[in-house]
Amino acid sequence: MNTIGVLTSGGDSPGMNAAIRAVVRTACENGMTVYGINRGYQGLIDDDLCELNIRSVSDIIHRGGTMLRSARCPAFKEEAGMQKAIDTLKKYGIEGMVVIGGDGSFRGARDLSLRGVPCIGIPGTIDNDIVSSDYTIGYDTCLNTIMDMVDRLRDTVESHSRCIVVEVMGNKCGDLTLNSGIAVGATAIVIPEIKSDIEQHVIDRIRRTQKTDKKHFIIMVAEGIGGVEELAKKIQAECGVESRSIVLGHVQRGGSPSARDRVLASRMGYEAVQLLMKGIGNRVVVMKNDKIIDYDIIEALTMKKPVDDTLYNIAHEISI
Ligand code: ADP
Ligand code: F6P
């Protein structure tokens, strides 16, 4: 394989730039030509791409977001869009692709691979919802950003003896909420994976700690659950503690990637190009038990993660 392309797709995540850098440098060092596709699959449809060399990816390893920009592109799921994308790939002689994104982006990579363009997926999303991989690029940075923001909230809720209900991103996955909840010492954590009567659960947790003379409370709620404003009102009414709510929002997705995300991205980017150099496609590069391995994309997309309540139970036990 002499010419490859790289794109970022779906929600951006810190560390995507480090992955692009690893892909470009590994490919260039091995004598390949690399094209960066702008705005995900949309750039393939619009013929919006440019050649990248080892210097094009200088000074990006520490930057959040993605230098290639990202998009959600419904047109790529249509036959006409797919055909335009394939025409663009042919025009530039692109023989293989690295797609950095989440599950949706991998479906696109699978479709392209089935059309004869070998693609390698790299999990890039803050949500940590790629079941085949222990960690996704951006998750660690996001977790630390949430922790930092909630530590600040703790200062003010403690000063005012209040309760704060915090909504955390993660799409349908509770990993960010659960792990940040443990890291900030939340009184209650609500995630989609653990079914409960949410209001009752949170109120019970607060009342229990009130008996031990606790005066301020942090409640972490996954966005897949939502309803933080109503929950704060209910807590105020039922527990007699002044309550506020906050949706942390897109600030969670930005910022300089952590060392862990930069290293993960570099390892995955390198491995993706190794596979393409062997002519292998339709694979997703993942981390399992600190090793970088790869799976068939179709197999990876059908994997299910069993609910593991170990961490949740730990949080329950020690947040009193
Ligand atoms: P993520 O890749 O982070 O899961 P999204 O699902 O929001 O994020 O974005 C996925 C994008 O992948 C879609 O907007 C679309 O551009 C692209 N895509 C391409 N093919 C498919 C497909 N068959 N199914 C879903 N998404 C696809
Ligand atoms: O997938 C990343 C993510 O930030 C999710 O956590 C969230 O549900 C979604 O993207 C938000 O999407 P948008 O940027 O389109 O508002």
The whole-number pLDDT of residue 214 equals 96
Specify the ligand 1 atom closest to the Cα of 77. 20
Which residues are catalytically annotated?
Answer: 127
pLDDT tens by residue, 34-54:
999 999 999 999 999 999 999
Find out whether the beta carbon of 10 lies less than 6 Å from any atom of ligand 1.
yes
The whole-number pLDDT of residue 65 equals 98
The whole-number pLDDT of residue 257 equals 98
The whole-number pLDDT of residue 2 equals 97
Residue 182 Cα to ligand 1 midpoint, Å, equals 31
CATH code for the domain defined by 3-138+257-302: 3.40.50.450
The whole-number pLDDT of residue 307 equals 81
The whole-number pLDDT of residue 73 equals 95
Find out whether the beta carbon of 118 lies less than 6 Å from any atom of ligand 1.
no
- Which residues have C-beta within 8 Å of that of residue 9, sequence separation ≥ 6? 40, 41, 70, 71, 72, 73, 99, 100, 101, 102, 104, 105, 108
The whole-number pLDDT of residue 178 equals 96
pLDDT at 139 over 90: yes
Cβ burial, residue 73 (10 Å; 0-12/13-18/19+) = buried
pLDDT at 306 over 90: no
pLDDT at 164 over 90: yes
pLDDT tens by residue, 214-236:
999 999 999 999 999 999 999 99
Residue 17 Cα to ligand 1 midpoint, Å, equals 19
The whole-number pLDDT of residue 113 equals 96
Residue of 13, 68, 77 to mutate, ligand 1, most atoms within 8 A of C-beta: 77
Write out residues with Cβ below 6 Å of ligand 2: 11, 125-127, 169-171, 223, 253
Average pLDDT over the chain, rounded to an integer:
97
pLDDT tens by residue, 87-106:
999 999 999 999 999 999 99
Residue 109 Cα to ligand 1 midpoint, Å, equals 9
d(CA 41, CA 77): 10
CATH code for the domain defined by 141-253: 3.40.50.460
Greatest C-alpha distance within the chain: 70
The whole-number pLDDT of residue 212 equals 95
Residue 318: pLDDT band with limits 50, 70, 90:
very high
Residue 308: pLDDT band with limits 50, 70, 90:
confident
Find out whether the beta carbon of 108 lies less than 6 Å from any atom of ligand 1.
yes
Specify the ligand 1 atom closest to the Cα of 108. 20
Least confident segment among 165-169, 175-179, 207-211, 302-306:
302-306
For ligand 2, atom 11, which residue shows the shortest CA distance?
A: 11
pLDDT at 116 over 90: yes
The whole-number pLDDT of residue 242 equals 98
d(CA 40, CA 179): 30
Find out whether the beta carbon of 107 lies less than 6 Å from any atom of ligand 1.
yes
For ligand 1, atom 5, which residue shows the shortest CA distance?
A: 10
The whole-number pLDDT of residue 319 equals 86
The whole-number pLDDT of residue 100 equals 98
Domains 3-138+257-302 and 141-253 share a fold: yes
Q: What is the DSSP string of 103-157?
A: HHHHHHHHHHHHTT--EEEEEB-TT---TTSS--BTHHHHHHHHHHHHHHHHHHH
pLDDT at 163 over 90: yes
- Residues 176-199, mean pLDDT to the nearest whole number: 96
Domain boundaries in the chain?
Answer: 3-138+257-302, 141-253
